[in-house]
Amino acid sequence: METFIKELKTSVPRVDALDKITGKTKYLNDIDFGNEVLYAKIVHSTKARAKILKINIPELPEGYFTVDYKDVPGKNAATMIISDWKPFAEDTVRYIGETILLIVGPDKNIVYDIAEKVKIEYQDLEPVLNIEDSKKLLGGAIYGDNNIFISFNAGYGDVDEAFKKAKTIIEETYYTPYQEHLYMEVNGAVGVWENGKVSIYSSTQCPYYVQKAASPVLGVEDVRVVAPPIGGGFGGKEHYPDILASVVAVAAHKAKKTVKLILDRQFDMAYSVKRQPAQIKTKIALDENNNITALDVVSDMDAGAYESSSRVIMQRCTYTAANVYHFPNVRVVGTLYATNNVPSCAFRGFGGPQAIFAIERTMDNIAKKINVDPIELKKKYFVKQNDPTITGGIFHDNIILPKMLDLALKESDYERKSKEYKNSMYKGIGISCFLHGCAFTGSGERDIIKAKLKLKKKGNKVTILTSNTEIGQGLHTTFRKIASYNLNIPLEDIDIAEYDTDIVPNTGPTVASRSVMIVGYLIQEASKKLKERWNESDEIEITEDYKHPTHLVDWDTNTLRGDAYPSYGLGINVVEVEIDKYTLEVKIVGVWAVFDCGYPIDEKIVEGQIKGGVAQALGWGALEKIVNKDGKFLQVKMSDYMIPTSLDLPEIKTYIMCEPYQYGPLGAKGIGEITFDGAASAYASAMENALKHHFTSIPILPENIAEVL
Ligand code: MTE
Ligand code: MOS
């Protein structure tokens, strides 16, 4: 069968679906690496902050050995954005779960047994387990001299002056919690010994990130990295794989054999990266007519023991502080703190959901205090095309929020319900309005990523060479569709090359929802060129380099001012709840999700992203709970960490609107993360409508409701 793509947005069956649902797809742990394979188990720190005094290793049977920092052939530092994260702890440990050494050997059970018997003697140091203690430098600084990894600023106008003149000031602090990614495939890496050197197979969203991190650890130029099919990432496989890959590569280097390190679910949940908890203080100035004259935001995030990508997450959080609103004066300070908690890293939304929760709750709070309709209040301050951004850039796009809002209100019957529920208890409806800056912040695409894509024609077939991975978001289908449509050849004649850094060029990481907008555009442009040259020869190779639209992302890397993003995705979410009077169990009875993601490359895939992202965000707001007790998470099993299933949610009604972006394929802007950004605040807003209480933190669980009542 031949499939010709006449209209891109018309859905086709996902190209990866059949192999995945029939179990044919081989994930990392399914690959046969031969019978010489050794297994590794991590021996980790059980202390949040301590000096290692002595490591007692039991007697090792023949063929079994340990691997620690002394075995690192290069530098014991994985390069992420900075190189602070040591793959192996040396004389001190900074968090519970930190890798101290590996036990390696041919029988997995024996390896696990030995690992259990390793005894480590520590000298305890005073751990820093939250932002407040980090600020106080409890036990002495753990990073630099102030425990601050990085601090960002944004804003314009004269905020102090506005507060001086204010008639009313409204101040509140909002808290958002950890979140576990719970991808279906756990983290893992394999150090493969081949041709007298180490290659790495990694379950990673970003093969070139693993290469960048692990090469200096091995002391080689560019280690070969292969990424097999990936069973979900959600940001959890952005940088954490760098650490696993580094340690297993050192083990393979030492053994001169292939070494496999696949985490079990409990280890993955307990010690792999999470969404960083945030506390965000907002302060609003109102004049005598109750106009908002200033917004002052102080955002603090707990990065945990190492920075990983929390730096750029803090940056996005800072720049998202004013969300879809234009206020006369704005000041934002976002600060990332080091603690002795498990390091946090990327999670769908990348700092956006934290910022949006705070500002959306703030808007609801003001509306309540000055007794106006929250929708009217929000509408009044919606940004418009050519308004300034808080980083000194401008909104270049036509902002279609009012149109989206009208649709959401109408479809959810919002006004009627919200009035009705105001006068009753236990039923509520809430809304959130939000944006998501597309792709990397600032000049990241130009200065750091510099994507380079290749198309190869051989006979009638075309192969796309990219490092952007299929992580469940449908990229293999959308990429093929873009090529097929522009080349006017059947979908079946397009292939995607294996993710092998020896084969594919670096089109950048699969993060920041950038794949379709940035790399899909390169596919579109390369396809057009290839089509023109189609009859030239049987074999043609086209290379397409990223070109920065400087007029849209005019960013000064010294002052960190200008256009932080070339374009913005937009979203409106409505959530309706009913609370059981007796059990206080919350039932989400309606969800309406309107998104502008530019042109949808495949409507079914976009719909799938919306449903998945919204459900994941409702999990964060309404169900999932992680308690961090003295640096250790109490929820480390799927039986005590509840994520929503289809039984917990009603049908999520999705509405796709399209305000195109000039440099996305047919105008696509990306949909991966914005789907997460607003649902938790809409849920909190619905709970406020139901219980007449201003909720300042999530999750909102029956026990929190009991407290309020
Ligand atoms: N969808 C699925 N099914 N699985 C995932 O792991 N990750 C999300 C989002 N949607 C994810 C997903 C995250 S965090 C990002 S950044 C984007 O997909 C990345 O893919 P894209 O660049 O193709 O949008
Ligand atoms: Mo997504 S959090 O940028 O992997």
pLDDT per residue as tens digits for the range 450-486: 999 999 999 999 999 999 999 999 999 999 999 999 9
pLDDT at 1 over 90: no
Give me the DSSP letters along 619-659.
Answer: HHHHT----EETTEES--STTTS----TTTS--EEEEEE--
**Which structure tokens are listed for 547?**
């070109």
Q: Is 166 in the pocket of ligand 2 (CB under 6 A)?
A: no
Please work out whether the CB of residue 670 comes within 6 Å of at least one atom of ligand 2: no
The pocket around ligand 1, CB under 6 angstroms, is made up of: 232-235, 348, 471-473, 475, 510-516, 609, 612, 670, 672-673
Residue type, 336: L
Q: Is 205 in the pocket of ligand 2 (CB under 6 A)?
A: yes
Q: How much distance in Å is there from the Cα of 328 to the middle of ligand 2? A: 32
Q: State the average pLDDT over residues 614-629.
A: 98
Spatial CA neighbour of 64 closest among 99, 113, 100: 113
**SS3 state of residue 28:** helix
| Closest ligand by atom to 181 CA | 1
Ligand 1: atom nearest CA of 511 is: 16
Strands, E assignment, 22-158: 38-44, 50-56, 65-67, 92-93, 99-105, 119-124, 148-156
Ligand 2 center to residue 233 CA distance, Å? 8
What is the number of the ligand 1 atom nearest to the C-alpha of 478?
Answer: 23
* Ligand 2: centre distance to CA 274 (Å): 12
Here the tokens at position 501 are 């850094």
The ligand 1 atom at the shortest distance from the C-alpha of residue 515 is 22
* Token duo for residue 380: 């009044």
CB of 240 within 6 A of ligand 2: the answer is: no
For the cut 90, the answer to whether the pLDDT of residue 55 exceeds it is: yes
The CB of 348 under 6 Å from ligand 2? The reply is: yes
Interstrand relation of 119-124 and 50-56 (parallel, antiparallel or unpaired): antiparallel
pLDDT tier for residue 35 given thresholds of 50, 70 and 90:
confident
How far, in Å, CA of 516 to CA of 205, rounded? 15
Q: What is the pLDDT of residue 704?
A: 96
Model confidence band, residue 336 (pLDDT cutoffs 50, 70, 90) = very high
Report the separation in Å between the CA atom of 504 and the middle of ligand 1, taken as the mean of its atom positions: 20
Helix axes 374-381 and 352-370, enclosed angle (nearest 10): 120
Cα(533) to ligand 1 centroid in Å equals: 34
Q: List the beta bridge partners of residue 656.
A: 595
**What distance in Å separates the CA atoms of residue 543 and residue 175, rounded to the nearest whole number?**
46
Cβ of 512 below 6 Å from ligand 2:
yes
Angle at 315 between CA 312 and CA 319, to 5 degrees: 145
Ligand of minimum distance to the alpha carbon of 673: 1
> For residue range 194-218, what is the model confidence (pLDDT) as tens digits?
999 999 999 999 999 999 999 999 9
Cis, bond preceding 699 (omega within 30 deg of 0): yes
- Is the CB of residue 238 below 6 angstroms from any atom belonging to ligand 2? yes
pLDDT per residue as tens digits for the range 90-99: 999 999 999 9
Shortest-distance atom of ligand 2 to CA 672: 1
Hey, how many other C-beta atoms are within 10 angstroms of the C-beta on 336?
31
Q: Is the CB of 346 under 6 A from ligand 2?
A: yes
**What is the position in ligand 2's atom list of the atom closest to the CA of 347?**
2
What's the gap in Å between 205 CA and the centre of ligand 2?
A: 9
Strands in 89-137 per DSSP E: 92-93, 99-105, 119-124
Whether the pLDDT of residue 33 is over 90: the answer is yes
Under the banding of pLDDT at 50, 70 and 90, the label for residue 108 is very high
The one-letter amino acid code at 271 reads Y
Q: State the pLDDT at residue 656.
A: 98
Distance CA 183, CA 232 (A): 5
In eight-state DSSP terms, residue 69 is G
Measured from the CA of 235, which atom of ligand 2 is nearest? Answer: 4
Q: For 575-580, what is the mean pLDDT?
A: 98
Mind listing the pLDDT tens digit for each residue in 483-496? 999 999 999 999 99
Q: Measuring CA to CA, which residue among 76, 66, 58, 57 is closest to residue 38?
A: 66
Enumerate residues 6+ apart whose C-beta is below 8 A from 559: none
CA–centroid distance, 239 to ligand 2, in Å, is: 10
Residue 569 CA to its chain's centroid (Å): 16
Q: Which of 203, 238, 313, 348 to mutate to test the pocket of ligand 1 (most atoms within 8 A of CB)?
A: 348
CA distance 72 to 374: 58
Round the average pLDDT of the chain to a whole number and report it.
97
Residue of 182, 315, 441, 511 with the most ligand 2 atoms within 8 Å of its CB, for mutation? 511
Atom of ligand 2 lying closest to residue 513 CA: 3
Q: What is the pLDDT of residue 238?
A: 98
Q: In angstroms, how far is CA 541 from the centroid of its own chain?
A: 33
Which residue from 238, 350, 513 has its CB within 8 A of the most atoms of ligand 1, so it is best to mutate? 513
The arithmetic mean of pLDDT across residues 511-515, rounded, is: 98
The predicted structure's pLDDT at residue 510: 98
Give Cα 702 distance to the centre of its chain.
28
Best CA proximity match to 621, nearest among 692, 677, 557: 677
Assign 109 to helix, strand or coil: helix
Task: Determine the residue type at 402.
Answer: P
Best of 203, 274, 350, 674 for a ligand 2 pocket test (most atoms within 8 Å of beta carbon): 350
Planar angle of CA 570, 617, 644, nearest 5 degrees:
140
| Cβ atoms of 397 and 474 closer than 8 Å | no
The separation between CA 474 and the C-alpha centre of its own chain, rounded to angstroms, equals: 17
CB 73 within 8 A of CB 87: no
Distance 472 CA to ligand 1 centre (A): 7
Nearest C-alpha neighbor of 366 from the set 694, 654, 29:
694
The answer to whether residue 307 scores a pLDDT higher than 90 is: yes
* Phi, then psi, of 579 in degrees rounded to 5: -110, 130
Ligand 2 near 496 CB (within 6 A)? no
Nearby residues of 687 by Cβ (< 8 Å), 6 or more positions away: 428, 430, 577, 579, 586, 693, 695, 700, 705
Alpha-carbon torsion, ordered 225, 230, 236, 239, to 10 deg: 10
Closest residue by Cα to residue 170 from 387, 358, 351: 358
Closest-lying ligand 2 atom to the alpha carbon of residue 350: 2
User: At residue 424, does pLDDT exceed 90?
Assistant: no
What's this model's pTM, rounded to 2 decimal places?
A: 0.98
Q: Are 658 and 640 in contact (CB under 8 A)?
A: no
Out of 238, 311, 469, 518, mutate this one to test ligand 2's pocket (max ligand atoms within 8 Å of CB): namely 238
Mean pLDDT along residues 104-125: 98
- Distance from chain centroid for Cα 222: 26
End-to-end CA distance of the chain: 61
**Chain center to CA of 582:** 37
Dist. CA 156–CA 331, nearest whole Å: 7
At position 521, the amino acid (one-letter code) is Y
Q: Ligand 1 pocket: which of 180, 186, 234, 609 to mutate (most atoms <8 Å of CB)? A: 234
For residue 511 and ligand 2, the question of a CB distance below 6 A is answered with yes
Say how many Å lie between the CA of residue 340 and the centre of ligand 1.
29
| Helix 240-255 × helix 207-218 angle, to 10° | 40
